Amino acid sequence: MDLVIAKDYETLSEVTAGIVLEKMLKKKRVNLSLTTGNSPKMAYEILVETLSKLQMDTSMIHYYNFDEVALKDKQYGLTMSGLKEALYDPIGVATENIHELTIDNYQDVDKRMAQAGGLDLVLMGLGEDGHFCGNMPGYTDFSKETYRIPVIPGDQMYESLKEHLGEEPGDYFVTFGPKTVMAAKQLVLIVNGEHKAEIIKQVIEGPVTEQIPASILMTHPDITVILDEAAAKLLK
């Protein structure tokens, strides 16, 4: 594990953008799977600005979303909507370079990615409950590849998604499983804020357990963990 402790969120974002940009600059096909949400927001802003200045050919860069929650009566799910707004649309990613994960195609996504050369980089955030991608405590099986989880009204997953979305979620949630993520060539985990200090301590220093799903990531041979000082405050 390569541990980077950045002074603040801005520095964390600069480091993150630099790692992703390095992959993008490869003069060959590159397969990326990137997170959405608040943690990578500034990193994507930096990437958009940098790519605009470079005016580089991005036709060899392909994107795979690692989880998805269907939104009723919407064309795109939560993850794809977030990625399109934050990165894909601003940098003009061609439709054929976006490989959308859905409840209709999840069963063969691992095979398709392997045929395309495998994932070169997965950029992830960390949930306060220790989840990564859509691998939640109580649902995680370290042996799983990409899978779907039924979203049943009244259960924990349903309530969590409804609170997060602010609306009724679809019937299923799909995600890269631990085995899928661990097959990637490089992993990057970004964590910021004091509210994540306790869980990142457990992930890094605690045992590998399915009850803290992200703990498995520490066994990957090429993982970079980028924290701001607030998130790192409890580490030994």
Q: Which of 62, 131, 220, 228 is catalytic?
A: 131
Contacts of 191 (CB under 8 A, 6+ apart): 39, 125, 126, 200, 225, 226, 227, 228, 231
Helices (H), the chain: 9-24, 41-54, 78-83, 89-91, 109-115, 156-165, 178-182, 197-205
**Active-site pick, 62, 67, 120, 228:** 67
Q: What residues form DSSP beta bridges with 227?
A: 5, 191
**How many whole angstroms separate alpha carbon 95 and alpha carbon 63?**
10
Integer CA distances (angstroms), 178 to 73, 106, 109, 134, 159, in order:
30, 14, 14, 10, 23
Tokens of 35: 């997170």
Which helix or strand (DSSP H or E) is residue 4 part of?
Answer: strand 2-6
> Is 164 an annotated catalytic residue?
no
Q: In 10 A of CB 109, how many CB atoms? A: 20
Catalytic annotation on 195? Answer: no
Instruction: Please indicate whether residue 110 is annotated as part of the active site.
Output: no
Q: Which residues are designated catalytic?
A: 67, 129, 131
